[in-house]
Amino acid sequence: MKKAFLVSLLLALGCVWSSQAVVIHWSTDGYDGLSGATSAVLVYVSDGSNPVYTDGVLTTGTAVSDTVSGLALTPSGVGEQSTTTATPSQGAYYVLLFNDNNQYAYSTALAWNDTSWGAYTVDELAPATGVFAPGTFSDWTAVPEPSTALLLVIGAAAAALRRKQRA
């Protein structure tokens, strides 16, 4: 009897604590010709702009899921994932794909309150019934790698300084 009471109490407290969360089920149906995707992540952008990934860091948007890779990615898309995050009041969700060539692509947006997919629910105990499965992605965008440029500049400066000292 005590165990049943304790379990029901914990369940009730869990519902109260999780009531400020949103559950999103997401996947992709292929990549529209974007072959070579090696990882994916669900991103939330609050201001309505597109996600931007610069210098190895997500500069516009916030990752709301763990990075998915390995067996979850196939040529036909990303397998179904489930993400729980804080309830937003504006903005949109995107799926970001990454490849081995320091490039990324982002999907069409899922509005913060778009229940038409069935992928969005605010009830943790009644998970989403559908899946946000974007079918279109932007073209691959190169991620600039500042460390390579920095090494080239330092090397050129060192060579110029050494030449100046010898003269």
Q: Total domain count for the chain?
A: 1
Backbone angles phi, psi at 128, to 5 degrees: -55, 145
In a domain, 52, yes or no: yes
The pTM score is 0.72
**Residue 124, amino acid:** E
The residues that bridge with 134 in the sheet, in sequence order, are none
In a domain, 12, yes or no: no
In a domain, 51, yes or no: yes
pLDDT tier, 18 (very low <50, low <70, confident <90, very high otherwise): very low
pLDDT tier, 93 (very low <50, low <70, confident <90, very high otherwise): very high
In a domain, 4, yes or no: no
pLDDT the model gives residue 13: 52
In a domain, 1, yes or no: no
**For residue range 134-144, what is the model confidence (pLDDT) as tens digits?**
888 888 888 76
Question: How many angstroms separate the CA atoms of 50 and 79, rounded?
Answer: 23
Q: Which domain, by its residues, includes 151?
A: 21-166
In a domain, 10, yes or no: no
In a domain, 36, yes or no: yes
